[in-house]
Amino acid sequence: MKPFSLILIFLAPAYLAAQIEYSIVGITPELLKHANVVVRNHETVFRLEADGGATMEETYVATILNEEGKSASVMAESEDPFQKVKMLKGRVFDVMGQLVRSSKDEDVQVFGGAAEYEFSDNRTKYLQLEYPQFPYTVEFRKKVVMKSFLFAPASILQSLGVAVEHWHYRLEAPNGFRFQWKSQGVDLKVKESQKGNTSIWEWDAGQLKALPDEPYNPYFGDITSSLMFAFEEISYDGAKGKFKDWKTVGEFFYGLNNNRETLTPQTVELVKKLTDGKSTREKIAILYKLTQEQCRYVSIQLGIGGWQTLEAEFVDKKKYGDCKALSNYTQALLKVAGIESWEASIYGSDEGAPACDESFPRPLFNHMILYIPSEDMWLECTSKSNPAGYMGEYTADRCALLFTPQGGKLVKTPALKLQDNFEHTSTTLLLREDGAAQVSGKTFYGGARQDDLRHYALEETKEVWEKTFTQQAKFSIGKLGKLALDANREKPEVSLDFQVESPKYATVSGKRMFVPLTKTNSFKLSLPANENRVLDLQMMQSYVLADTFVLQFPSGYAAENVPAGKKITSEYGVYELKTETLSDAVQVIRLIEMYPIQAPAAKYNEVRQFFLDITKADAQQMVLLKKT
């Protein structure tokens, strides 16, 4: 026997143990259902030091079952002057749980590139473990050291498509440490103990089944369960505060951002000159526009600068800033005009926001806007085009934390209502014998329906708008005549006046011509078929479309068949189509109202059928026949 065989024998037990532990065979079948990833073991130890720093050690072992689960093959962690990644390692195991490789230091990538308009001291370290055949298992170990921090990171147990075999979280802190915790989407029990001067809290969970990753679900960020913390006392980059409740959270941020409203004497003069003798509303509109016209969005985030605004004077001189700086600058302008305003933290996103909890003071915000209490009015100061007081889908209908002199106050921003989000079109189509058409029309857009168009009207060149219109049009365009886009500066309304040539609007089939009725603004939405929908359905956008289409026949043609009207009414919305045949034209009047939808999974197919019916009704065509 050669010496190396001996070594093999000695190693064998450990090797076999590994094989048993991470082999896919060990996973109970219930955990595989709907799963793209099975988390085998996820353990975190968060150790808080007496000086306010902390160490976090995390082990994450996941079996990746398919391509959709590949996001679990990456472990990423950010670094900044207050947080360093001390260790990031990984190992890969094959389907039988056999170790195939261990990561090397050079496998850990670091990148720090931000967009042209951004600069920050934040960098990301990440490690990706790839393997050519599914399923395979990855094991990550990392250690993060924090000098100081504002928020303890949440532990995410599960997102959609992820099952969990075992999860454990351990928090260690000096005795007397006070905090609140909250679990979401999972029932957790805490186990407390003490060891000398250290208090220990532990949470356990396991055998959590996966929820399928289905579209239009109510889970924000597709997260289903997590453990979150709110530490009562915080200190970050020299700033100290209490996060006992929303009031104290607000006090901290108010303190951080207050008294930074000094402007240059010239600007003070200018504000006085512009607003003298004007009403409060007028003053707000004038000063909001001043910020919009003078400043551009540039984001520089360094240390506490991620949470504290730049001085108003800085913005005054540089004419740029991020959401905090531009809000603070506008606040300073308003202050000169005698109008009180408060900064507010909010989660900005076109896809909704996390739910807010009155009783759990853990901020989940990424953006800042301004609130004027006397007018109950909100200002989005990073927008170069919004009319004063209009929020748009990015910040409407969610909770915001106001920083008032009396502390924090959690409020809800107004929702955009059905009637606010409208599209009124009036289109005339002159059909030609070869199926081409001259299409001219006028459309008025309102609320959320005008957000994008307002951007093109005021913030992009005409060339970009023309290109976008051509690319996004629902019918082919051969020539652009008129394409005038006009944004109302006072109201969230945009109008479009257009005339274009469409080379193939209708389909010619011998002596017949098939003409779609509403193609210039057709409605099309389909939910994937799913007989076993598990998650509730949520589609919060609501709007009203009111359209008139006049389809003028080419000479020598008459209607052979014109679809009769159609009306679909349901709790999800209304669709109504009316046709009227005139001597040489057909007039189509269409009304669509969509209500916000929050439906249980059992109603999924009902909602799906509703959209199917509308889509089908809207695709109807009339048939014209050439007279002989």
Partner 1 sequence: MLKTLLSVFLLWGGLQTITFAQLTYKLEKWGKVPDADLKLTHCSFDSGASSMILQDVGSLELTYTRDGWRVLFNHRRRIKIFDETALEQGNLRILYRADHDVEKFKDLDIQLILPTGEVQKVKSDNVFTEKINKYVSAKKVFIPNLQKGCIVEYRYELESAFIASLYETWFFQQDIPVRWSQLSTTIPQYFTYVYLMHAPRKFDLNENHQESITSAFTNPYGASVTTFGLSHLPGIKDEPFITTLEDYRAHIGFQLSEVIYPGRSTEKYLTSWEELAKKMEEDEDFGGQYKNDGKFDKIWSAFRKEVPESTPRAELPEKVLRFVSTSIQWNGENRRFPEATLDAAFIKKSGSTADLNLAVVALLRKLKFDAVPMLISTRDHGMMYDLYPFADQFNTVVAFMLEGEGGQLLDATNPKRPVGWMRAECYNGQGWLVDPKRPNWVDINAPEFSETWLGYAKLNEEGALEGHYTIIKGGPAATQWRSEMEGESEAAFIKSNFAAEFSERTVDSIAFSELNQLDKPLKVDFHCVVPSAATPVNDFLYLRPVLDYFVVKNPLKSIHRSFPVNFIYPYKSQYVLNIELPKGYLLEEIPPAARISLPENGGKIQFSVGKTDESHIQVILKMNITKQEFLPSEYDALKQFFDLMTEKVQLQLALKKV
Tell me which residues touch partner 1 (CB under 8 A).
Answer: 66-67, 92, 100-101, 107, 109-114, 116-117, 119, 123, 130-134, 293-294, 296, 298, 300, 317-320, 384, 435, 458-463, 466-467, 470-471, 473, 476-480, 503-504, 507-512, 514, 526, 560-561, 563, 612, 615-616, 620-621, 623
Q: Between residues 31 and 624, which has the closer beta carbon with respect to partner 1? A: 624
Q: Smallest distance from the beta carbon of 66 to partner 1, in angstroms?
A: 5
Distance from C-alpha of 115 to C-alpha of 330, rounded to nearest angstrom: 25
CA 310 – CA 324 distance, rounded (Å): 7
Q: CB-wise, 230 or 539, nearer to partner 1?
A: 539
Q: How far is the CB of 384 from partner 1 (least distance, A)?
A: 7
When the beta carbons of 227 and 617 are compared against partner 1, the nearer one is 617
The CB-of-320 to partner 1 minimum distance in angstroms stands at 6
Q: Which positions ≥6 away from 412 have C-beta within 8 Å?
A: 397, 398, 399, 400
In the bound state with partner 1, the residue whose beta carbon lies nearer, of 44 and 518, is 518
**Residue 71 Cβ vs partner 1, minimum distance, rounded to whole Å:** 15
In angstroms, what is the minimal distance from the CB of 78 to partner 1? 14
The residue (of 354 and 563) whose beta carbon lies closer to partner 1 is 563
Nearer to partner 1, 509 or 598 (CB): 509
We find the least distance from the C-beta atom of residue 410 to partner 1, in angstroms, to be 34
Nearest to 362 by CA among 259, 226, 168: 226
CB neighbour list of residue 51: distance below 8 Å, 6 or more residues apart: none
Instruction: For partner 1, give the closer residue by CB, 15 or 117.
Output: 117
Are 92 and 62 within 8 A, CB to CB? no
Exposed/middle/buried for residue 178 (C-beta within 10 Å: 0-12, 13-18, 19+): exposed
Closest to 345 (Cα-Cα) out of 309, 321, 315? 309
Rounded to a whole number of angstroms, the CA Rg of the chain reads: 30
H or E segment to which residue 415 belongs: none
Comparing CB distances to partner 1, the nearer of 419 and 507 is: 507
CB of 113 to partner 1, least distance (A): 4
DSSP for 97-130 reads: --EEEE--GGG-EEE----TTEEES-EEEEEE--
Q: To the nearest whole angstrom, how small is the minimum distance from the Cβ of residue 47 to partner 1?
A: 30
> Residue 129: which of 119, 117, 141, 120 has the closest Cα?
141
Q: Give least dist CB 407 to partner 1, A.
A: 34
Please report how close the Cβ of residue 117 comes to partner 1 at its closest, in angstroms: 5
For residue 434 the two structure tokens come to 């070869």
Nearer to partner 1, 281 or 462 (CB): 462
Question: C-beta of 308: minimal distance to partner 1 in Å?
Answer: 17
Q: Which residue has the tokens 């504290």?
A: 308
**Within a 10 A sphere around the Cβ of 20, how many other Cβ atoms?**
11
Using the minimum distance from each CB to partner 1, give the nearer residue, 265 or 510: 510
Q: How many angstroms separate the CA atoms of 124 and 120, rounded?
A: 11
Calculated CA dihedral for residues 294, 300, 301, 302, nearest 10 degrees: -120
Which of 341, 280, 343, 337 minimizes the C-alpha distance to 310?
343
> Could you tell me where the beta strands, DSSP code E, fall in 232-289?
233-236, 239-242
Give the residue with the Cβ less far from partner 1, 10 or 111: 111
The CB-side HSE value for 147 (13 A sphere, CA atoms) comes to 12
